Amino acid sequence: MRHRERHRSERIGWLRAAVLGANDGIVSTASLVVGVAAAEATRHNVLVAGVAGLVAGALSMAAGEYVSVSSQADTERADLDLEKRELAAQPQAEEDELMRIYVRRGLEPDLARTVARQLMAKDALTAHARDELGLTEELAARPLQAAIASAATFAVGASVPVLTIMLAPLAKLVLIVSTVSLLCLVALGATAARVGGAPAAVGAARVALWGALAMAATAGIGRLFGTTVA
């Protein structure tokens, strides 16, 4: 039977985008509606602000992730193109370079030469991409995947404060939205940490801290201006 190991690093691309999207969806939308509600706005106006924040934030996250990860993908392609040219122009120098990498990793020079030669005979570009550039198929930049994951998870996260607006009493809207959002942030941080192999308490604490600071800041601004939105 073939032994197949699944490592957490294989999840890093979509996990980073998904956690960032959900966290930002909760924090930014909850902070927005808390700030508007603290200014003594009507439920309708708070709800409009929340929905607008959800739509704008999801599209912004998608665009930002796509542009950012596309830049990373462009850099990876440029490095691979350069490596292709070097392999075509100086195959022996590239073999020597690969051999020296394996020697630094602990192989004897003769064995390192044999390994380098055999790997280059099978797939020289893949060997150099992996061992010289640190590029693998599992960790390759995927712009569309990152954009979709960020937009979708932002919308899911942002729906928490938006749904809370519709269900909570207007007089306690700030308190209830803040509490529900913080609880969701704690759950998100703990889950993301567990999936990534880190302590759940650490992940929960760091997202809750920043979420609480953001909501406290916007609530303060709302109360400071204290103007009912017409």
Secondary structure, 3-state, 130-143: HHCCCCCCCCCCCH
Domain that holds residue 195: 15-80+143-222
What is the pTM (predicted TM-score) of this model?
0.70
Query: Mean pLDDT highest for which of 28-32, 75-79, 122-126, 149-153?
Result: 28-32
**Is 7 part of a structural domain of the chain?**
no
What 3-state DSSP class applies to 169? Answer: coil
Instruction: Give the per-residue pLDDT at 13.
Output: 52
In this prediction, residues 129-145 reach a mean pLDDT of 76
* Largest separation between any pair of C-alpha atoms in the chain: 79
Q: Which amino acid would we find at residue 144?
A: L
The chain-wide mean pLDDT, for the chain, equals: 83
Cβ–Cβ under 8 Å, residues 76 and 109: no
**Is 72 part of a structural domain of the chain?**
yes
**Is 66 part of a structural domain of the chain?**
yes
**Is 90 part of a structural domain of the chain?**
no
Measured in degrees and rounded to the nearest 5, phi and psi for residue 4 equal: -125, 120
Give me 95's structure tokens: 């073999």
**Is 229 part of a structural domain of the chain?**
no
Instruction: Give the per-residue pLDDT at 139.
Output: 63
**Is 94 part of a structural domain of the chain?**
no
The domain tally of the chain equals 1
**Is 52 part of a structural domain of the chain?**
yes
* Interval 45-98: pLDDT, tens: 999 999 999 999 999 988 988 898 888 888 888 888 888 898 888 889 888 888
CA angle 204, 205, 210 (to 5 degrees): 105
**Is 127 part of a structural domain of the chain?**
no
